[in-house]
Amino acid sequence: MEAFLVSTGIVALAEMGDKTQLLSLVLAARFRKPWPIVLGIFAATLANHALAGAAGSWVTGVLGPDVLRWVLGGSFIAMALWMLIPDKLDEGDASTAPRFGVFGTTLLAFFLAEMGDKTQVATVMLAAQFNAWAAVVAGTTLGMMLANAPVVWFGDRITRKVPIKAVHTIGALVFLVLGVLSLLSSRA
């Protein structure tokens, strides 16, 4: 349960102001069909994070506990620093709907936008940290949905009222604490 809850919270915080949240807003404004967009986000996130979680679980089996502790600690601290760098949506992230439809466009755009993103990297690290693939993937997927579905339904009213810098700072502190705890924990 801890892996699920931590994964949900971290990804929901990390996603605030992220380029995929901005992509959600752009897709909602462009297509004005919230259900296919939300379902596309869900499917893309589930696929992307399932792969990332599998990579994290694999890393756990390959690295010894001491090496894994240092890699995870350093990775969480690097994520803390990365959280402080705001994301910007690239102009070409959203494709036109006629070719793939709203669902397909969202699925493709979201899957590609998540490649190498903070939340994908966090999913790899969390799966390695907790060695609980299903709980981490479920948690990170829920975190993405908690951050992105409201944006689709409520549009820019939410993004104007959320102090993004504060959310990024809190997320960075959470990653920093996890990094320090990973480095200080003994896995003997």
**Tens of pLDDT along 141-161?**
999 999 999 988 886 555 556
Statement: residue 46 has pLDDT above 90:
yes
Tell me, what's the pLDDT at 48? 93
Tell me, what's the pLDDT at 23? 79
Tell me, what's the pLDDT at 135? 96
Give the gyration radius of the chain's Cα atoms. 16
Please enumerate in sequence order all residues whose Cβ is within 8 A of that of 188, keeping only pairs 6 or more positions apart, or say none.
65
pTM beyond 0.85, yes or no: no
Statement: residue 132 has pLDDT above 80:
yes
Nearest of 127, 142, 157, 152 to residue 20 by alpha carbon: 152
- Rounded distance, CA 178 to CA 101, Å? 40
Give the CA distances from residue 168 to residues 15, 81, 95, 140, 182, in Å, rounded to whole numbers and listed in that order: 9, 10, 28, 17, 21
* Mean pLDDT along residues 18-38: 81
Most confident of 42-46, 58-62, 115-119, 166-170: 42-46
- Rounded distance, CA 162 to CA 125, Å? 27
Neighbours of 47 (CB within 10 A): 15
Give the pLDDT confidence of 47-105 residue by residue, as tens digits: 999 998 898 888 777 776 677 677 767 776 876 777 677 655 444 444 444 577 889 98
Q: In terms of pLDDT, which residue wins out, 155 or 36?
A: 36
Tell me which DSSP letter residue 93 carries. G
* Arithmetic mean of pLDDT over the chain: 79
CB 184 within 8 A of CB 96: no
